[in-house]
Amino acid sequence: MEEFLQDLNESQQQAVLYNEGPSLVIAGAGSGKTRVLTYKIAFLLESGYAPYNILALTFTNKAAREMKERIASIVGGPTAARLWMGTFHSIFSRILRVNADRLGFTSDFTIYDTSDSRSLLKSIIKEKDLDDKIYKPASVQAIISNAKNALITPQAYQVNKDLVESDERAKRPLIKDIYQTYWNRCQKAGVMDFDDLLLYTNILFRDHPDVLERYRQIFRFILVDEYQDTNFAQHLIIHQLSKGHNHICVVGDDAQSIYSFRGANISNILNLKSDYPGCKTFKLERNYRSTQNIVRAANSLIDKNKEQIRKQVYSENAVGNKIDVLSAYSDFEEGYMVANRVSEMKRLSKYAYNDFVILYRTNAQSRIFEEALRKKNIPYRIYGGLSFYQRKEIKDVIAYFRLAINPHDEEAIKRVINYPARGIGDTTLGKIIECGIHNDVSLWQVIATPLEYTLPVNNGTLNKIQKFKELIEEFIDANNKMNAMDIAELIIRRSGIFTEIYANRSPENLSRQENLQELMNGIQEFCSLRQEEGVEEIALTDFLAEISLATDQDEKEDDDSDKVTMMTIHASKGLEFKNVFVVGLEEDLFPAALSKNSERELEEERRLLYVAITRAEENCALSYAATRYRNGQPTAMPPSRFLKDIDPTYLNMPSELKSKQNVEDSIYSFSSRSLGMYSSSRSSFFKREEPVLPSKKQDLPLKSYSPRLKRLDAVNTSSVSGGSVSITGLDVGARIRHDRFGSGIVTEISGEGDNRKIGVEFEQVGKKQLLLKFAKFTIIK
Ligand SMILES: Nc1ncnc2c1ncn2[C@@H]1O[C@H](COP(=O)(O)OP(=O)(O)OP(=O)(O)O)[C@@H](O)[C@H]1O
Ligand SMILES: [Mg+2]
């Protein structure tokens, strides 16, 4: 047996070694499922599979990168680099680009994020003169998204009796028309939304058997992590691709299925056996992550769910501390309690800030913790929320980027046709849209040839439209000739955004300037990484493809400085931290108010808490507040029913819950007393401040959003760039430290001038060629 398999226990080894047919590893949290998948890939490579014949799908890009690094340390970097490894969306968008013509798209299609899709739906609802209180854009979006994930196209939707009748009962009979219009508009604009990436992949494979056959030949072995959160569209893609060879291994935990609102279907894993006859199941029972108390507490919680595959999970780690239940009078106090604990634990133990995570049910809860941590000077980072690429000034610039690549992109046109202001108002835009619909062409076609489509505007307006058209054409032209960095700068300057944002130094503009700078840093970093690997010309398209598919967890991945992490529980899937705070354990928040009507949804909320608790290695605390500001009002919040689902043997309950014997009693007493207590009996230490409205983005400390900026600064001061300085001590045999690849030994130096390269054998990622002109590293003596 390969030596590296010694890192696994016996049941894990069996799962890795089994190779005679489809297999499923189903096991509780922290039992090494991801580890099994990682080692299985390494094992397949060692047994002769070529890396480009292995497809491995993960839930986030970050997870893919981490897995790749681990595999690289076993089989070497270059081999690991050639694996097909990534999220469903990133892998299948690559495949769609290559085969776009089969679907009536070009390979330059752009991608609508959730807010672009919502904005298009809003326009459509308005154009159709529908009431947006009945046809709520968010609900319509969810219905269309569900339909797409169930592989129901608009044509199929029209004739699907169940769906049509259900819409009629809900007095929204025109959803089917909205869906059809939305579909046509995306096609005209040459864009795909996130759900389309999966839907079109399915259509591609269904309608083009030769393409399916080609990818079946390529993907000789398929592995999927977190299978419990796949939806029907993903499940089917995998099923199609693995048919024939049946070389497939999926891992998952039904108790951690938490994405049903995105169409994830727990039955995909429960019914795997019927889809893959002969599928062999492996169970892993030993948890390596957490203390015994944490594992037992989590087991006792999930035990209350009816729908589940029963599992034994045990830990042989230390018994550990009980889970602390922290009771606060208010959300504000909850923030302080957690912040105080963090500093105390850090002071008393060996912990770094990185060892702490605060997990919440909804993004909005982060503000109160930010405030408390900031006051105590505790550094933190937030994942998710208003992501960097969702900020206005960034979306504006990216809209121009998108137009340089695909001028038909409707949402991008709408966003910037009059930004910065160029006298093309809403009325004119309305006419352009109408004209496009009337002639069945894209907005860009109308803009490019307004006379051909008899756009009803005066000559002054025609002139302005002409100027906008010339601007975009200039960008398209430049995009064909320039690299990503230069075209980005050209766009920012020529579009007028630069003048707009650098017009003055108002605090708002300063923050926008920093964001623009940060965007440029991001592009620069993206380019230098590729250049170091020898890719000379990096196109804007490559950068855009990369950022269009970022997930909540991916955003700040480069920031490895010492900070407390905050994120939603959804984003924490698969991760682990020494100390975990799960906050806001209150009725109507966790479980969420809407989930309380159905047992099924309540079970999903319970699984969510199971996921949260099982992120903890050493300590876990659960907190709740008796009152919370909601919709600008202090609102009484009874403690969550889930607190009583956990076996009290593993909990340190606050005395008020203990004395009442059970939480249920206290649910009632809490609601009646809490408001009075809120104002009268608070200690002065937790002085209440004015209720604060959700913080504006510029209130947030910029640093927590600027890991790239920081990183680049760090690189500039501590390392050398081979192109501009003559480097003494850089010889074959020299030891260097590279910012990203870690340390390694120079094995060769070749080339002249701009083409001068070094070959480096890195400890972690194996051999790499670096172009000296771009490479950034330090020579270690
Ligand atoms: N055989 C083993 N020996 C030592 N450590 C192990 C072993 N198996 C797993 N671990 C460690 O236990 C932790 C949990 O493993 P892993 O993340 O693979 O679990 P998982 O089942 O994927 O968890 P989750 O359900 O949360 O995704 C990791 O830190 C991993 O390195
Ligand atoms: Mg895992």
d(Cα 115, Cα 415) in Å, to the nearest integer? 12
Average pLDDT over every residue of 503-530: 82
What integer pLDDT is reported at residue 781 of this predicted model?
64
Q: Which ligand is nearest to the CA of 572?
A: 1
Mutational pocket test of ligand 1: of 31, 302, 316, the residue with most ligand atoms within 8 Å of the beta carbon: 31
Is pLDDT of 529 > 80? no
Q: What is the mean pLDDT of the chain?
A: 85
- ω into 420 cis (within 30 of 0): yes
**Among all chains, which residue has been given the structure tokens 């604990």?**
341
Mean pLDDT confidence for 541-563: 73
pLDDT at 9: 96
Which of 501 and 621 is assigned the larger pLDDT?
621
Ligand nearest to the CA of 288: 1
- Check whether 33 is labelled as a binding-site residue: yes
Rank 142-156, 380-394, 512-526, 722-736 by mean pLDDT and report only the highest: 142-156
Shortest-distance atom of ligand 1 to CA 35: 18
Give the residue extent of every domain in the chain. 1-103+199-283, 109-188, 312-385+554-659, 387-547, 732-777
pLDDT of 405 higher than 70: yes
Say which CATH topology domain 312-385+554-659 has.
Rossmann fold (3.40.50)
Q: Is 35 in the pocket of ligand 1 (CB under 6 A)?
A: yes
The span from the CA of 270 to the CA of 154, in Å, is: 29
Q: How far is the CA of 12 from the centre of ligand 1 (A)?
A: 10
Q: Give the pLDDT band (50/70/90) at residue 698.
A: very low
Mean pLDDT of 436-458: 95
CATH dotted code for 1-103+199-283: 3.40.50.300
What is the CATH class of 387-547? mainly alpha
Please, which residues have CB less than 5 A from ligand 2, an ion? 33-34, 574
Cα distance between the two ends of the chain: 38
CB 397 within 8 Å of CB 493: no
Instruction: Identify the weakest region by mean pLDDT among 235-239, 549-553, 739-743.
Output: 549-553
ipTM > 0.90, yes or no: yes
Contacts 24+ apart (CB under 8 A), 630-634: 632/691, 632/693, 634/330, 634/675, 634/678, 634/691
Residue 700, pLDDT > 80, answer: no
In this prediction, residue 297 carries a pLDDT of: 97
Asked if residue 252 has its Cβ within 6 Å of ligand 1, the reply is: no
> pLDDT above 90 covers what percent of the chain?
61
Q: Are 627 and 330 in contact (CB under 8 A)?
A: yes
- Which ligand is located closest to the Cα atom of residue 35? 1
Q: Give yes or no for residue 514 having a pLDDT over 90.
A: no
What is the 31 CA–ligand 2 centroid distance (Å)? Answer: 8
- Which atom belonging to ligand 1 lies closest to the Cα atom of 614? 26
Find out whether the beta carbon of 363 lies less than 6 Å from any atom of ligand 1.
no
28 labeled binding residue: yes
pLDDT at 669: 37
**Res 685: pLDDT:** 23
CA 578/CA 333 separation, integer angstroms:
23
Distance 471 CA to ligand 2 centre (A): 48
Task: Report CA(22)–ligand 2 centroid distance (Å).
Answer: 19
Query: Catalytic positions, please?
Result: 33-34, 225-226, 256, 615
Q: Is 31 in the pocket of ligand 1 (CB under 6 A)?
A: yes
Whether residue 43 contacts residue 300, with contact meaning beta carbons closer than 8 Å, is answered with no
Protein residue whose Cα sits closest to atom 25 of ligand 1: 29
Name 287's bridge partners. Answer: 315
Q: Is the pLDDT of residue 354 over 80?
A: yes
Spatial distance between the Cα atoms of 23 and 9, rounded to a whole number of angstroms? 18
pLDDT band at 558 (very low <50, low <70, confident <90, very high): low
134 has a pLDDT exceeding 50: yes
**Bridge partners of residue 628, in order along the sequence:** 635
Lowest mean pLDDT, pick from 420-429, 541-550, 660-669 = 660-669
Whether the per-residue pLDDT at 446 is higher than 60: the answer is yes
Residue 226 CA: nearest ligand 1 atom is 27
Does the structure show a pLDDT above 70 at 628?
yes
Position 164 pLDDT exceeds 90: yes
Reported for 315-319, long-range contacts at CB under 8 A and 24+ positions apart, including other chains, are 315/286, 315/287, 315/288, 315/289, 315/290, 315/291, 316/286, 316/292, 317/287, 317/288, 317/290, 317/291, 317/292, 318/291, 318/292, 319/291, 319/292, 319/293
Q: Which ligand is nearest to the CA of 282?
A: 1
Please give the average per-residue pLDDT across 650-676, as a whole number. 52
**pLDDT given for residue 716 in this prediction:** 30
Instruction: Decide whether any atom of ligand 1 lies within 6 Å of the 4 Cβ.
Output: no
In 3D space, the residue among 345, 268, 245, 281 whose CA is nearest the CA of residue 620 turns out to be 345
Which residue shows structure tokens 């048919």?
Answer: 243
Q: Does the Cβ of 313 fall within 6 Å of ligand 1?
A: no
Tokens 């076996």 sit on residue: 647
Q: Which atom of ligand 1 is nearest to the CA of 36?
A: 18
Position 377, amino acid = N
253 CA closest ligand 1 atom index: 25
User: Above 50 in pLDDT, residue 396?
Assistant: yes
Mean pLDDT in residue range 223-238: 94
> Torsion over CA of 64, 69, 75 and 80, rounded to 10 degrees?
50
- Mean pLDDT, residues 268-279 taken together: 86
CA of 276 to the centre of ligand 2 (A): 22
Among 329-333, 682-686, 714-718, the range with the most confident prediction by mean pLDDT is: 329-333
User: Is residue 723 scored above 80 in pLDDT?
Assistant: no
* Ligand 1 touching residue 16 (CB < 6 A): no
Helix (H) or strand (E) holding 324: strand 323-330
The domain made up of 109-188 has a fold known as: Arc Repressor Mutant, subunit A (1.10.10)
On the question of pLDDT at 552 being above 90, the answer is no
CB 38 near ligand 1, within 6 Å: no
Ligand 1 mean position to 610 CA, how many Å? Answer: 16
Assess whether pLDDT exceeds 90 at residue 686. Answer: no
Q: How distant is the alpha carbon of residue 142 from its chain centre?
A: 18
Q: Return the sign of the alpha-carbon dihedral for residues 209, 210, 213, 218.
A: negative
- More reliable by pLDDT, 705 or 483: 483
Instruction: Give the closest residue (by CA) to ligand 1 atom 8.
Output: 32
253 pocket-lining for ligand 1 (C-beta < 6 Å):
yes
Nearest partner of 251 among 274, 286, 280, judged by Cα: 280
**708 has a pLDDT exceeding 80:** no
Supply the pLDDT for residue 753: 78
Q: What integer pLDDT is reported at residue 559 of this predicted model?
A: 62
CB burial string 266-286: b at 16+ within 10 A, e below: bebbbebeeebeebbebbbeb
pLDDT at position 665 over 60: no
- Asked if pLDDT for residue 673 goes beyond 50, the answer is no
Per-residue pLDDT at 629: 81
For ligand 1, whether the C-beta of 461 sits within 6 Å is no
Q: Where are the alpha helices (DSSP H) in 387-458?
A: 392-405, 410-416, 426-439, 443-448
34 labelled as ligand-binding? yes
Cis before 450? omega within 30: no
Domains 1-103+199-283 and 312-385+554-659 alike in fold = yes
Residues 264, 274: Cα–Cα separation, whole Å = 18
| 540, 706, 720, 725, 739 from 714: Cα distances, Å | 25, 12, 11, 18, 9
- How many helices (H) and strands (E) in the chain? 31, 24
Higher pLDDT, 769 or 247: 247
pLDDT value of position 272: 84
